[in-house]
Structures are given as C-alpha cells and as structure tokens.
A and B are shown apart, each in its own frame.
Chain A
Amino acid sequence: MTARRRLDSGPEGLPILGEVPLVTARGLAKSYGTARGARRVLAGADLDVEAGEMVAVLGRSGSGKSTLLHVLAGLDRLEAGRIEVGGVRVDRLREPALTRFRLTGVGLVFQFFHLLPELSGEENVLAPAKMRGATPGAAGRGRELIVRLGLREVAGSLPHLLSGGEQQRFAIARALVNDPPLVLADEPTGNLDAASGTAVLGLLGELTHAGKAVVLITHEREAAQRADRVLELADGRLR
C-alpha cells in the first residue's frame, strides 16, 4: 500500500534531488536460453539514478541494454537482484501493482516508436490517460504535450502518415502523459535522421530539468554525451 501511495502521489512525492536515488538496482541477473545454450546478459549489474539525472547506458549490440531497460520498467522478471523505484520494490510487485507502476511510475520510449497503427497520434498519446488508474488531469497534460512538442497540426494523422521524428515525439508525449518520475528510453534516436535525433535528445534533456530521471539506452557516443553520467554494460555488469 505504501508503494502504491508513493507512486500515486506523482512528481510531488519524489525524493529531493541528490538526497536518495530514485532508482536503485542491485545485483541484477537475467539469462536467455536454457542448458548449454544459456546466455547470461545481466550478471550482477548495479545502478543508481537520481531524480533530475540522465544516465546513458552504452554497450555492444546484444550486451543486454534493452534487457536492463525491460527489467527496470517491470516488463520482464529478474532471476536475481532487486530494483527500487521511488522506494518501491518493483521486482516484488505482483502483476496488478506492476501494471499500475507501468502506468504512472515509468514512461517508455522505444527505438521503433511502437505507436498503435489504428490510433491517430493524439489518440496514441491519450491512450494511457484513459486507462483505469491514470493520474488526474492526464488527458489535459497529453494535449498540452502535443502542442508543446509541435505536433498539433498532425495530431489527427495515423502513424503511417507521420515522419519518424513526429512518431517519436508522439511516443515521448505518450510516455509523459501520466507524469511518471522515471523515463526509460531505448535507442530513441536509432531510427531517426540526425536532425530529428538531436531534437528528441533535446526533449529528453528537458525532462531532467523538470525533475525526472531519464535512463537512455544507446550505442551512439554522441547521444551519450548529452547524459549526466555514462555507464557501459559489458559482461552483464555496468561500469
């Protein structure tokens, strides 16, 4: 119940910058495959991210960057280790609480945007606002974000009619619609041209000024330079 109250409280309930890390992960372990084919992608990784901080995670392809993001977001289960976000043990949450965590505790941005093709850009942004347990005023916030991100002209368009940059901005707006304290971005510029990529990174950077913690998964050194800290994932550990 404590965990739920803290997550429900929105940005106001966040720890003060620099006081306690928003995200604390210790000894994360995760493997794929079985028996001789098993491959350990996380082998005791540790991570702390403070509110208002952007942390970039670099690594080779297949090093486990996306897996790290998935376990932080509660999309995948750990084999070992612990994850706390805002004081909540995410690794111990059962599915209903995990669903609530994903709705209001974390915002996700993907390389391939992952917009629902049946919904317009605006409807994609507002979809989490209409889910049970959404934060109050989420829909209004979503519309504001669309305007702020310069998407008003194309808000009614279906995703396949949008450019990559526009799609990714809609995806960012969707990630922020419930005002989560943590944003996890998985190669957000990987599918964009240079100009769009720069704009998207600028947007993510602005989030930190609003007190949000951002974890940026990337393999691009240039993108990583925007972060407050850069970590490298190798042999299942973060350095």
Chain B
Amino acid sequence: MSAALRRLRARGARSALAATGVLAAGAMLGTAVTVAYGLGTGFDRATQRADAPDLIASFDERSRADVARRVRALPNVESVSYRFEVKDVPIAAGGEVIRSGAVEVVRSGRRGYALLEGRDIAGAPREIVVERGVARELDLGVGDRLDVGRLGAHRVVGISLAPDNVAYPLADAARIYLSSAALARRFGSEPSEANRMLLWVRDSRRLDSTLVQARAVSFGVSDLRFLTRAGVRVLRDEAAGIVIALLVAFSLIATLAAGVMLGALGRADVERRLPAIGVLRAVGLSRAGVAARFALDAVLIALPAAALGIAAGALLARGPTASLLGSINELAPGAALLGPLGGALVALVAIACGASAWPAWRASRRPPVELLRGAELRGAGGRLAARLPAGMGWLGLRMLAGRPLRTAAATAVLTIAAAIVLLLLALASQLTELRDDPGSIGKRYDLAADLGPERAGDVRALAGVDAASVRYSVAAADAFDLGETLRVVAYPGDHTRFEASPLTDGRRVRADGEAEIGAGLADALGVPLGATLAIALESGGEARFRVVGIVAALEDQGRIAYVRPPRVLAADPGAPPEVAVDLARGADRAGVIAALRELGAGPPMSVGGAASDQPGFVSVLAGVLRTVALVNGLVALYALVQVLALTALERRSALALLRAVGGGRGELVRVFGGAAAIRTAAAVPAGALLSALVLGPAVGSLAADYAPLAPRPSAGQVVFVACGSAVMAALAVAIVARRSARAPVAAGLRGVE
C-alpha cells in the first residue's frame, strides 16, 4: 500500500488528472442517481409517512350518517375518515391572497396527511394546518397568521403533505385543514355533512372487490369519483415517467461517458507505463501481479475522487430534486439515498479499477523486451485498415481500426447522446405543439362560441368563416360504473370536419345510435367494438350507443365519446350547445370574434391544444428539455475530446513522427478529423433511428398509452443535430490537434510525455 502511495505521489500531475476525470464522472453519476432515486421512490415514501388511504371518494355533499351507513355495508374496511371540503375560499397572509383555497374540515380519526413541521390540529379554535405548497407560496411558517375567508384569522400550527394530489400551485386548490371540533366550539355546531371520504382497507389485495361494492352501494350519490392509491401512482407515473425515463437515459449517457473516460484514462496510463510493465515482467512479476498493482493504484485514486464527485453531484442535485418532489407532494429520500449513492461509488471504483487492471493484464501478455521498447509497433487494424486509402484523414481511420472496442464504445456514447438530444428536441416541440396547436389533438376548428343551434347558419355566413357546426360537449359517467367518468361530444353531421382523432379500429360514426370512443375509455370500461356504451348524463338521463370505432384521442386522457346529438338531447334536453368555428386561411380572427359577439355570443373560446390550460408550465418544461439537450451535447463533446485525446496520447510517437517528417497542425487536424468523422457520421443516423424507433415510442407509452404520443424527430431536427455534431467534432478535433501540435516532438519520439 505504501509503495502504491509512493507511486502515485511520483506521478503527481497524472494522478491528479486521473482523479479529476473520476471526480467528473462521479459528479455526473451522483446527480443522476440523486434525481432518479428521488423521483422513483418519492411517492412510496410520501404515502408511507402520510399513512395515505387506499381509497378516496369525493361526491356531492350529503349527510355523513348516510355515507357512514353505506360504508358499513362494505367488506374489508379497516378504518374510514370523513371530510367536509369547502372550495374557493379566499385565504390571505402577508398581503398575498389565494382565491382558490380549499378548506378541509377534519374530524377525529386517521388523517392521510403527513406533518412535516409543527403539530396537528387538536380541537383548539383558530388553529390550522396548511399544505406545504400553500405555506411556500404564502411564505408561512408554524406560528404565522392566516386569514381564512369569513372564518377570520387562524394560527398555523403545522405544515402538512398529502400525496393524493400535486402541491399548490400545480394543483388548482390550496388545501388547508381545520378541526371539526374547533368549529363546534366556536360556532356551537359542526358540519353534519361530508363530501369526501378516506378509506383504509384491511387487505389491499382485495381493494378491487371493495371498490366494486363501493360503487354498488353508491347508488344515488351524485358527482361520485373514486381515487385509489394505485390510481394516484399511475397518474404520477404518467407525469413523472417521462422525466424519469429521460434521467435514466441521461445517467446512462453519463455512465457510458464516464466509462469511456475512465477506460481512456486507464488505458492511457498503461500506455505510458509500458516500459515499467516490461521491467516488472522482466524481474519476474506475474501478469496477475501487474494487473493487481494497476488495480490498487486505480483504487487509491478513484476511491476518494469518486466519493468526492458523487457527494458533489448529490449535493448539487439535492436542492432542485427536493424542490421538484415538493411541487408534486412527495418526500426527498434523505438518508435513504446513501444506499444508492454507495452503490454508485462501488460501481464507479470498480469501473476505474477494471479500466486500469484490464489493459495492464492485456499489455503484460506481450514479451517483456517489446514492452521495454515502448511496444508500439503493431499491425494495427489488420486487413480492413490496409484496404483504406492513404492520406492523413484515412490514417486517423486506420488508427481507430486498431481499437475496435473503444471505437464502438465511443460511437455508442455519441449515438445514444444524439438519440437523446433528438428525443429531447422532439419532445420539446411536441409539448409546444400540444400547448398551441389544436390539430395535435385532432381538432380542426379555431373558436367555440356559446350560441344556439339556430345561429349556426348565421355563423357560417360570416366573412372569414370556413365552416361552422353546432357542438355539444357534456360530462357523463358509465351507467354501469358511475365512478368512470367521460366526456361526450356530439355533432349533428360528420364530426371529422371539426374533430378527427385518428381512428385505430372500426369506422366513423354514421348514425344516431353509434359512437366512436377513445382508447382510454375503451380500456377503462372494457368496451370492445360492437359493444354497448351506456352513459348516465348529469341530468340523470341515460343514453345508449353501439361502439363502432376506437380512436386515439389525447383529450381527457382518451375518456371521450363522439356521437350524434339526438340521443344526448333526449337524455338531457338542457345540454348546452355551442358553435364550433373553423376560420378560413388568412381570416381576420379579431373580426370574426367581433361578429360572433354581435350575434350574441359571449367571449368566444380559442381552441388550444391538450395542455393549453398550463401554458407556463409547458413552456418551462420545453425550455428544460432543450437545456438538458444542450448539456447532453456538451457531455458528448467532452467524451469525444477524451477519446481523441487518448488516441493522441497512445499514438504520441506516431504523431511526433508525422511532425518530425514535416507534418504541421494541418496534418494533425486531418488525422484527428478522420478519427472523429467516422464516429460522428455513424452516430447521427444511428441516433436518429434509435430515437424514432425505440426511445420515442417508449417515452410516448410512458406518457400516455391511450394515444399516439411518441415523439419523432423532424427532418429539420435531425439536420440540426447533424450540423451540431459536425461543429462539435470540429471543435474536439481543433482542441486535440492544438494540444498535440504543442507537445515536444523529441519527447514524443522517445515515447514519453
């Protein structure tokens, strides 16, 4: 050990360089592990700490006694808590007002939320617990004052987290909790109604049957919605799936880049020390002994550097990750992260160790006398290399042919990097499109005006209007399973002129009793083609349709049905009509809106994409994706520079010779250019294919399995990445050629640095 330390001290600068490489790799890995582990396990941590219920039911307010009576009929119930939630209560603190406050009146029993600070509400008047998102938004701490609508000032006694929804402001409502007993003490009575119920079951494996029976005993309960813990997880996974998939991909690139980098460093070290290996072999050290020495040296460098790098990466990522987890009401991993980080440390040290010991093991196979001379002369590249044309650029290619494994690994890194960059760019474009372009969700009209069917003809006659049709859009539930909600859209004629989600099975609607339904609805209800879709409308009326087509609809998560109006209007004569307006190309939008107002319409609604209700969030996400794409490109550049630098180091004698016989920086640029060009030229098309055929569909299915969301890079994006890669390669070549042209020729010929 002490001898190894002396060896490292003797190679001070090189040891520091190797340690820097390991440190950088560790930082990348630490960041990736922290974010991926935090996001991957945050929900479980939060549900466990919050004692989250297995099932949450929300419904129109009704007598708590009535709800309790229905619950008593259910099997497998361990405990139940009732809530009375009042929405749209203005809450204010420090001059800031939130109008969408949701006051949950809590009775005794299990809470379903975790207390992160302070204590729970205990029945004393004017005490309140606020959700962490609300506390953050209003800058509230324990002991601060919060004004709650007409209830007046309250003191915050605790900060909570409930993982059944994302945090405010991502969630619509700012949740706060009041004690029912406190209200009773203050006002003499407490609410006898409930509109939310939290239920814990004894055996979660039998939750499905409990849910079926809960629906059965809910007859007559209006606006009933069930949300299971598994359902919440699915929703979270859909949202976080893309992020996690991208991070896993990013950490894969980071790990691959780190592997290539460490491999390059290890290999370079062995190359430098070939004569020393020759001496060791000459004095009788076994091959295993040589490999063990290199392994020990690598461990001594890698262990502290990797630990430092991983710790730095974890610390860097900890804040943003905790913030992200906080915004979706999940908990940061805390000390639990130490395990995965420890695993990453072991993996990184093992890679560094292997990257050093393996080339030493292989090198020590050569005769000691050859090693003592520096051992460069080899028929590198074999027949393939010999068939390539002569010339400096081709010489670079021939040099690569002598290192097929490394060339493949480096090309793989660049390919994956190109694929991820293309995926990120495609995803960012798709998000923007989903936000702005109604066509992205199959909508082919621009405005919706609240006018009756009798005005449709007048609207069609307006200048700038290409087509107009009356449209009904109503909320409904499956008549057999009231918990399954859907949206019913009705057009009197061919709806595909105005809305045409892609048909995946069957045909379009042709008659009054037929329906096209979204794949999401077909999956949720288990309704195949030819089956009957029975829906209960808000009026209480029921309508039945025969399913003739399945469409890949993105809107309402695919829980949508397209029908003709007569049966909808028969079941609910009060269904509100509107007129869908498709503007002519180049039409004066403002002029048409003014004309619609003159016809008696309220402010016409512009039709947006699927995510048009969260434009800011989508913009931020698209920006983040493009930034990650840029970082990814820089990682690829770094990997390319490292690999070229290794070639320069390994072939320092050859490069010195080129310079000795009259080659200048131009010749070096051509040699390295050839080496970089083949990798880049292979990586971009391979990356485009990987992105379009594998990563895109995988990410698309993570995001939504009910609609074709797979992001595909456009030709423009592929060209952009190809140009970017060419610039990146040129930059890498320029950096390495410049560095090589500055190295002393004589030293290079002697095979030393």
Contacts and interface: CB of A to CB of B under 8 A. Distances in A.
B378 to A, nearest CB: 5
Interface footprint category on A? 35 or more
Contacts of B654: 116-118
Contacts of A75: 660, 744-746, 749
Contacts of A231: none
B390 A158 contact: no
B203 to A, nearest CB: 70
A73 interface: yes
A133 to B, nearest CB: 7
B376 interface: yes
Interface in B401-458: 401-402
Interface stretch (A56-64, A119-127, A192-200): A119-127
Interface stretch (A97-105, A205-213, A222-230): A97-105
Given A102-B659, A178-B662, A116 B395 contact: yes
Residue picked from A100, A110, A114, most chain B C-beta under 10 Å: A114
B381 A118 contact: yes
Contacts of A151: none
B661 A103 contact: yes
B380 A117 contact: yes
B15 interface: no
Contact of B379 (A99, A130, A158): A158
A96 B749 CA distance: 19
Interface in A88-108: 95-96, 99-100, 102-104, 108
Contact of A117 (B379, B666, B746): B379
Residue picked from B386, B399, B660, most chain A C-beta under 10 Å: B660
Contact of A160 (B379, B398, B741): B379
B600 interface: no
Nearest to A114: B657
B379 A119 contact: no
A102 B662 contact: yes
A158 B661 contact: no
A133 B390 CA distance: 18
A141 B379 CA distance: 26
Contacts of A112: 373, 377
Interface in B655-699: 657-667
B660 A130 contact: no
A75 B660 CA distance: 7
B746 A130 contact: no
Given A76-B744, A76-B745, A114-B653, A108 B661 contact: yes
A158 to B, nearest CB: 5
A159 B654 CA distance: 13
Given A96-B664, A104-B662, A132-B666, A160 B749 contact: no
A158 B653 CA distance: 17
A131 B660 contact: no
B385 interface: yes
Contact of B398 (A119, A131, A134): A119
A161 interface: yes
Nearest to A108: B660
A123 B388 CA distance: 11
Interface string B626-670: 000000000000000000000000000110011111111111000
A70 interface: yes
A112 B749 CA distance: 10
A174 interface: yes
A100 B662 contact: yes
A131 B662 contact: yes
B663 A131 contact: yes
Contacts of B749: 70, 75, 110, 114
Nearest to B653: A114
Contact of B390 (A73, A110, A114, A119): A119
Contacts of B603: none
Interface in B738-753: 741, 744-746, 749
A99 B659 contact: yes
Interface in A48-94: 67, 70, 73, 75-76
A118 B661 contact: no
Interface string A124-159: 001110111110000000000000000000000011
Contacts of B658: 116, 127
A110 B377 CA distance: 14
Given A76-B744, A102-B662, A160 B377 contact: yes
Interface in B364-398: 373, 376-381, 385-386, 390-392, 395, 398
Interface string B307-342: 000000000000000000000000000000000000
Given A112-B373, A158-B379, A132 B745 contact: no
Residue picked from A108, A112, A116, A132, most chain B C-beta under 10 Å: A116
Contacts of A123: 390
Contacts of A102: 659-662
A11 B456 CA distance: 96
A89 to B, nearest CB: 18
A133 B662 contact: yes
A42 B2 CA distance: 38
A174 B657 CA distance: 11
Interface of A: 67, 70, 73, 75-76, 95-96, 99-100, 102-104, 108, 110, 112, 114-120, 123, 126-128, 130-134, 158-161, 174-175, 178
9 contacts: A99-B659, A99-B662, A116-B657, A118-B381, A118-B401, A126-B390, A132-B664, A159-B379, A161-B379
4 tightest A-B CB contacts, nearest first? A103-B662, A118-B398, A99-B664, A76-B746
Given A76-B744, A134-B662, 8 more contacts: A75-B745, A76-B745, A114-B749, A117-B376, A117-B378, A117-B379, A117-B654, A127-B658
